[in-house]
């Protein structure tokens, strides 16, 4: 899909469709829509009077052969009440339009922005929305629908802004493409994405975008005494890997903050000896979603160049019930030296994160964010609406939540009070890998990880219920969402 800025008058642009948006207010047809309405002999007013065109959020009205326009179709997308509208809503508006028109065989479209949304922020949101919406999960279908949006022209933007506008368009496409890079990984089946393959793909990406990369193999992992990761990996014939990516800013500040991004990358989670039920087990290919998220974020940061150093540490393994698999009751010694009583082998994510976080701190990370498809409990709490966000100190978490808000991603602060610590105490070892007592599964999981972050400012994002959606959205294909990447990137750029 090619995206370009257009300076010709929108009405003369030949395309399969021209897309613009309508607010839900009494005077719907102001500015550029007034001109379109006049050229169409007042047909838009008539549609509004009949109740077919209201401007309700994401309502679609498709008009064929619109008078006065060179485009074959006019698609009007509802933008909701103007008081509630924010620029980032443009992502959903263009995404919804793109998916609607793509399914109807449209190849070439023009997006016409409205008064007040003609600057770089709007252009960035539009481009990001288009690229994200264009992603499909039909990679392994031999009979493709053969529907493709070939080109999108952006009309109505303030071309006087020149370089700012082009930079915003680049930013938008980097974000969209990095998110799609992560989504493609998350969508891969586990026979095509083992820890070794994930590491190889990370290596190709790192070389392409100019990031430093180091892959720790099973020997190096053993040398580093990552006993928690090895405990999970020992049940599989596939060896584990730890992927380490580095971004160093051009003017690195000695003693400045180093952001550590730690992502859970279990390429398949059977549960191990505490095996999962068969129903829905195929979904556990996306248990590397946290690692995919961090790879997507690093790819974006390589282009957007924050002024802080960033290191990603991605422990990757399968969780299998092989003959050598760890068993409930086993005790593992983590890299930090803490001993862990394994109560349930299905609580493996926190084990590999424990060593990932210890290693990130050893590499000098002063601030941490982890992302993981960690618990089913987060779905009980927040459905697929919000990412569960844990963290200490509270100000650090709040700062991150501001980035989530700026990025337009739903995240909700979750509790990790000291009472949860009681629930992971063990009689046999230092800690146990699941909570005793009832409930609070997302919080006990978070507390377990916190034991390894110790006093380093740390955020934990439980994306188990938001990293994958079973039902598509009008602006997003069903499957991998790429959630949290935008917030993490925004946070790194502001740190």
Residue 204, burial from CB neighbour count under 10 angstroms (0-12, 13-18, 19+): exposed
Nearest to 409 by CA among 397, 422, 400: 400
Does 318 help bind Zn ion (rule: CB under 5 A)?
no
Q: Which stretch binds ligand BES (CB under 6 A): 41-49, 125-133, 230-238, 345-353?
A: 345-353
Report the residue from 152, 182, 320, 377 that binds ligand BES according to the rule CB under 6 A: 377
Residue 75, burial from CB neighbour count under 10 angstroms (0-12, 13-18, 19+): buried
464: partner contacted, choices ligand BES, Zn ion, none (Cβ within 5-8 A by kind)? ligand BES
Could you say which DSSP state residue 271 is in? -
Q: How far is the CB of 145 from ligand BES (least distance, A)?
A: 29
Report the residue from 16, 24, 238, 346 that binds ligand BES according to the rule CB under 6 A: 346
Find the residue with minimal CB distance to ligand BES.
376
Does 188 help bind ligand BES (rule: CB under 6 A)?
no
Does 434 help bind ligand BES (rule: CB under 6 A)?
yes
- Give the whole-angstrom CA distance, residue 368 versus residue 310: 10
Instruction: Give the pairing of strands 241-247 and 212-216.
Output: antiparallel
Q: How far is the CB of 232 from ligand BES (least distance, A)?
A: 10
Let me know if 276 is a catalytic residue.
yes
Could you say which DSSP state residue 323 is in? T
Let me know if 179 is a catalytic residue.
no
16 or 269: CB nearest ligand BES: 269
Q: How far is the CB of 432 from Zn ion (least distance, A)?
A: 15
Q: Which stretch binds Zn ion (CB under 5 A): 239-247, 261-269, 403-411, 472-480?
A: 261-269
Does 89 help bind Zn ion (rule: CB under 5 A)?
no
- Give the whole-angstrom CA distance, residue 387 versus residue 372: 10
- Cβ pair 108, 16 in contact under 8 A: yes
Q: Cα 406 to the chain's mean position, in Å?
A: 14
Residue 253, burial from CB neighbour count under 10 angstroms (0-12, 13-18, 19+): exposed
Does 373 help bind ligand BES (rule: CB under 6 A)?
yes
Q: How far is the CB of 353 from ligand BES (least distance, A)?
A: 11
Q: Which stretch binds Zn ion (CB under 5 A): 166-174, 265-273, 308-316, 441-449?
A: 265-273
Report the residue from 89, 346, 370, 451 that binds Zn ion according to the rule CB under 5 A: 346
| Three-class DSSP category at 491 | helix
Does 464 help bind ligand BES (rule: CB under 6 A)?
yes
Could you identify the residue written with the tokens 């392409």?
A: 208
Q: How far is the CB of 175 from Zn ion (least distance, A)?
A: 27
Q: Cα 19 to the chain's mean position, in Å?
A: 26
- First and final C-alpha spacing in the chain: 33
Cα pseudo-dihedral 115, 116, 120, 123, rounded to 10: -50
- Cβ pair 321, 273 in contact under 8 A: yes
Does 269 help bind Zn ion (rule: CB under 5 A)?
yes
- Cβ pair 330, 231 in contact under 8 A: yes
Q: How far is the CB of 467 from ligand BES (least distance, A)?
A: 7
Q: How far is the CB of 274 from ligand BES (least distance, A)?
A: 7
376: partner contacted, choices ligand BES, Zn ion, none (Cβ within 5-8 A by kind)? ligand BES
| Three-class DSSP category at 107 | coil
Does 344 help bind ligand BES (rule: CB under 6 A)?
yes
Interface with ligand BES: number of residues (CB under 6 A): 15
DSSP 204-237: HHHHHHT-EEEEE-HHHHHHTT-HHHHHHHTTSS
Instruction: Characterize 270-306 residue by residue with b for buried, 16 or more Cβ atoms within 10 angstroms of its Cβ, and e for exposed.
Output: bbbbbebeeeeeeebbbbbbbbbbbbbbbbbbbbbeb
96 or 444: CB nearest ligand BES: 444
Q: How far is the CB of 299 from Zn ion (least distance, A)?
A: 24
Report the residue from 227, 441, 457, 480 that binds ligand BES according to the rule CB under 6 A: 441
Does 341 help bind ligand BES (rule: CB under 6 A)?
no
Report the residue from 269, 409, 451, 490 that binds ligand BES according to the rule CB under 6 A: 269
Does 370 help bind Zn ion (rule: CB under 5 A)?
no
339: partner contacted, choices ligand BES, Zn ion, none (Cβ within 5-8 A by kind)? none
Q: How far is the CB of 305 from ligand BES (least distance, A)?
A: 33
Does 347 help bind ligand BES (rule: CB under 6 A)?
yes
- Give the whole-angstrom CA distance, residue 433 versus residue 216: 24
- Give the whole-angstrom CA distance, residue 444 versus residue 390: 11
Does 187 help bind ligand BES (rule: CB under 6 A)?
no
172 or 388: CB nearest Zn ion: 388
Given 196, 225, 276, 473, the catalytic residue: 276
Binding site for Zn ion (CB under 5 A): 266, 269, 287, 346, 348-349
Binding site for ligand BES (CB under 6 A): 269, 287, 344, 346-349, 373-377, 434, 441, 464
Residue numbers annotated as active site: 276, 350
């Amino acid at each position: 899909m090619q995206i370009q800025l257009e300076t010709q008058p929108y009405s003369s642009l030949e395309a399969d469709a021209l897309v613009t948006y309508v607010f839900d207010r009494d005077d719907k047809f102001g500015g550029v829509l007034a001109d379109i309405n006049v050229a169409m002999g007042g047909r838009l007013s008539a549609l509004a009077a009949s109740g077919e065109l209201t401007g309700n959020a994401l309502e679609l009205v498709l008009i064929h052969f619109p008078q006065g326009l060179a485009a074959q179709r006019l698609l009007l997308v509802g933008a909701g009440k103007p008081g509630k509208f924010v620029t980032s809503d443009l992502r959903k508006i263009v995404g919804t339009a793109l998916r609607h028109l793509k399914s109807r065989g449209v190849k070439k479209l023009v997006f016409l922005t409205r008064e007040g949304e003609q600057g770089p922020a709007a252009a960035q949101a539009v481009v990001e929305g288009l690229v994200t919406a264009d992603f499909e999960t039909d990679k392994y279908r031999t009979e493709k629908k053969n529907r493709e949006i070939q080109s999108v022209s952006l009309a109505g933007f303030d071309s006087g802004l020149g370089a700012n506008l082009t930079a915003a368009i680049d930013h938008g496409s980097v974000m969209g493409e990095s998110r799609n890079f992560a989504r493609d990984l998350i969508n891969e089946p586990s026979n095509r994405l083992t820890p070794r393959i994930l590491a190889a793909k990370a290596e190709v990406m790192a070389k392409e975008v100019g990031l430093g990369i180091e892959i720790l193999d099973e020997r190096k992992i053993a040398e580093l005494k990552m006993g928690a990761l090895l405990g999970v990996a020992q049940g599989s014939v596939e060896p584990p890997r730890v992927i380490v990516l580095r971004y160093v800013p051009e003017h690195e500040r000695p003693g400045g903050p180093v952001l550590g991004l730690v992502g859970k990358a279990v390429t398949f989670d059977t549960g191990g000896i505490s095996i999962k039920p068969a129903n829905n087990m195929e979904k556990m290919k996306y248990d590397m979603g946290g690692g995919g998220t961090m790879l997507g974020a690093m790819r974006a940061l390589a282009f957007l160049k924050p002024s802080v150093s960033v290191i990603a540490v991605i422990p990757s393994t399968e969780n299998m019930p092989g003959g050598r698999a760890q068993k409930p009751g086993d005790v593992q010694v983590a890299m930090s030296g803490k001993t862990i009583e394994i109560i349930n082998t299905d609580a493996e994510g926190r084990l590999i994160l424990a060593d990932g976080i210890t290693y990130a701190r050893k590499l000098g990370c002063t601030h941490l964010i982890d992302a993981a498809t960690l618990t089913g409990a987060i779905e009980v709490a927040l459905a697929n609406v919000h990412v569960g966000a844990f963290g200490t100190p509270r100000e650090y978490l709040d700062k991150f939540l501001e980035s989530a808000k700026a990025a337009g991603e739903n995240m909700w602060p979750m509790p990790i009070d000291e009472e949860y610590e009681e629930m992971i105490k063990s009689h046999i070892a230092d800690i146990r890998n699941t909570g005793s007592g009832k409930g609070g599964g997302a919080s006990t999981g978070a507390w377990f990880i916190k034991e390894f972050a110790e006093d380093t400012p740390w955020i934990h994002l439980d994306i188990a219920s938001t990293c994958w959606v079973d039902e598509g959205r009008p602006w997003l294909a069903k499957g991998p969402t790429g959630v949290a990447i935008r917030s993490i990137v925004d946070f790194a750029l502001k740190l």
